[in-house]
Amino acid sequence: MNAISDPYSDAAVQLPFPYLLFLGDTAEPGFAKTAFGVRDWAADKCVGEFAVGAKVTTGLPVMTPAEAYAAGARAILIGVANRGGVIASNWIVPLVEALEAGLDIISGMHVRLGDVPELAEAAAKHGRRLIDVRVPPAGLPVGTGRKRTGKRLLAVGTDCALGKKYTALALAAAFAERGVDVDFRATGQTGIMIAGGGIPMDAVVSDFEAGAAEVLSPDATPDHWDVIEGQGSLFHPAYAAVSLGLLHGSQPDVIVVCHQPGRETMLGLPDHAVPSIEETIELNLRMGRRTNPAIRCGGIAFNTSGMGAAAADALMEAESKRLGLPVADPIRRGAAFEALVDSCLK
pLDDT at 15: 87
pLDDT at 13: 55
CA end-to-end span of the chain: 35
Show pLDDT as tens, one digit a residue, over the chain (346 residues). Answer: 333 334 333 445 578 999 999 999 998 888 898 999 999 999 999 999 999 999 999 999 999 999 999 999 999 999 998 777 889 999 999 999 999 999 999 999 889 999 999 999 999 999 999 999 988 889 999 999 999 999 999 999 999 989 999 999 999 999 999 999 999 999 998 999 898 889 999 899 999 999 999 999 999 999 999 999 999 999 999 999 999 999 999 999 999 999 999 999 998 899 999 999 999 999 999 999 999 999 999 999 999 999 999 999 999 999 999 999 999 999 999 999 999 999 999 9
Distances (CA, A) of 335 to 65, 153, 332, 341: 43, 20, 10, 10
Residue 10 is predicted with a pLDDT of 44
Q: DSSP characters for 210-262?
A: HHHHHHHS----TT-EEEE---S-TT-TTTHHHHHHHHHHH--SEEEEEE-TT
The bridge status of strand 19-24 relative to strand 130-132 is unpaired
Residue 242 CA to residue 288 CA, distance in Å, equals 14
Q: Which domains does the chain have, with CATH numbers?
A: 17-128 (3.40.50.720), 151-345 (3.40.50.300)
